Every structure is written in structure tokens, then in C-alpha cells.
């Protein structure tokens, strides 16, 4: 398992090894001991699995507020996504900036997104399946978000606004400048 830094040091790209032969492959997609050796010590408590039927589906940008704020370990088991994490930590030198990565079943890569970041993705293929581990349970009262196409974020999404497929909830999320300070 290889852990790679990104433009925002707290976000990590993780590349598990796949051992393949004529039957297929085997891969350790999560190994607590190996991640701890790289300085990643997170106790995950829940796995989530989403399927987006159409290419151009946007989910997010989502986060949970304290005390239910979540670290996420995101991976794709079918298809590909453009994955984005936005720094919401007030006082951070990277506040309001983002990291984006293409995660795909073919590349078998993962993104570790710590507490204090909003997370979202756009599907690059139809039938994209995304699995992610979180270190806090879901809390409806703490389930919040940030507008995916806020111009202040300058995210270069791979879909035009008019053709993006979003939930009504995600269309109504606030811009960064209207968001209360949740993380210090």
C-alpha cells in the first residue's frame, strides 16, 4: 500500500496493491497497521456504498458538523469519479482550497479525506459505484453541505452545470461565504 501526499498535506492518495493471476486479483484495500505506519490512525465505524446510474451525477459537497464530523476513505469499485475535497478549517492556510483526483476501479486508488473537509464527486462513467469508510456514524442533524459549483471554490468540474444530475438538497446548499464556521 502506497500513501501519496497531495497539494493539501492532510489529504492522502492511497494506492493499494493488487495481486493478480488468471483467476482475477486479491487486494488489501484497508490495513490499519499499514496505514498507521504511514501516520494514518483512524478508527472507521461505518462503510457506505453508493451507485450512480448516469455519468455526470454530482453528489456533494457534503460534511458532518462536530461532534459527528467524519474522516472518509473513498474508493471506486466500478467506473470512475472526479473526487473533490474542500478545506473548511477556519485559519487553515488552505481554507477554501480543494484537492481533486480521479478515482477509478481500473486505477484502484483511494482518497483519505480528514475531518474539516467537504467532500463530493462527479461520476465520469455510468453505473459508478463508490465505497467509503467513515469514522463517525451518520447523524441527520449534523448532515450539512456546500454548493458544488460555488464560483469562489473554482472547482473545474467535468460536467456543465446545465447537464449535471443533482438531488434537490444538493442544489440548495449554501456557498462557502454563507457557511458558518464549523471547523477551527
**Active site includes 62?**
yes
CB 88 within 8 A of CB 150: no
Residue 71 and residue 160: Cα distance in Å, rounded? 29
CB 87 within 8 A of CB 96: yes
Grid cell of 80 as nine digits: 470512475
| Among 19, 119, 132, 137, the one annotated catalytic | 132
CB 13 within 8 A of CB 111: yes
Closest CA to 79 of 111, 47, 54, 59: 54
| Among 30, 62, 82, 98, the one annotated catalytic | 62
**Active site includes 98?**
no
CB 114 within 8 A of CB 35: no
Residue 132 and residue 145: Cα distance in Å, rounded? 17
Among all residues, which ones are annotated catalytic? 62, 132
Amino acid at each position: 500500500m502506497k500513501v501519496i501526499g497531495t497539494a493539501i498535506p492532510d489529504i492522502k492518495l492511497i494506492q493499494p496493491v493488487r495481486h493478480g493471476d488468471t483467476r482475477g486479483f486479491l487486494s488489501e484495500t484497508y490495513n490499519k497497521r499499514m496505514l498507521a505506519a504511514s501516520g494514518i490512525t483512524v478508527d472507521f465505524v461505518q462503510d457506505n456504498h453508493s451507485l450512480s446510474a448516469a455519468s455526470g451525477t454530482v453528489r456533494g459537497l457534503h460534511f458532518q458538523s462536530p461532534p459527528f464530523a467524519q474522516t472518509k476513505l473513498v474508493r471506486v469499485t466500478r467506473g470512475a469519479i472526479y473526487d473533490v475535497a474542500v478545506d473548511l478549517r477556519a485559519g487553515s492556510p488552505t481554507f477554501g482550497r480543494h484537492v481533486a483526483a480521479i478515482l477509478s476501479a481500473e486505477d484502484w486508488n483511494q482518497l483519505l479525506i480528514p475531518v474539516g473537509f467537504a467532500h463530493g464527486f462527479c461520476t465520469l462513467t455510468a453505473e459508478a459505484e463508490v465505497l467509503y469508510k467513515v469514522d463517525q456514524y451518520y447523524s441527520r442533524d449534523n448532515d450539512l453541505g456546500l454548493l458544488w459549483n460555488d464560483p469562489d471554490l473554482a472547482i473545474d468540474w467535468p460536467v456543465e452545470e446545465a447537464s449535471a444530475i443533482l438531488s434537490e438538497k444538493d442544489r440548495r446548499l449554501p456557498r462557502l461565504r454563507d457557511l458558518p464556521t464549523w471547523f477551527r
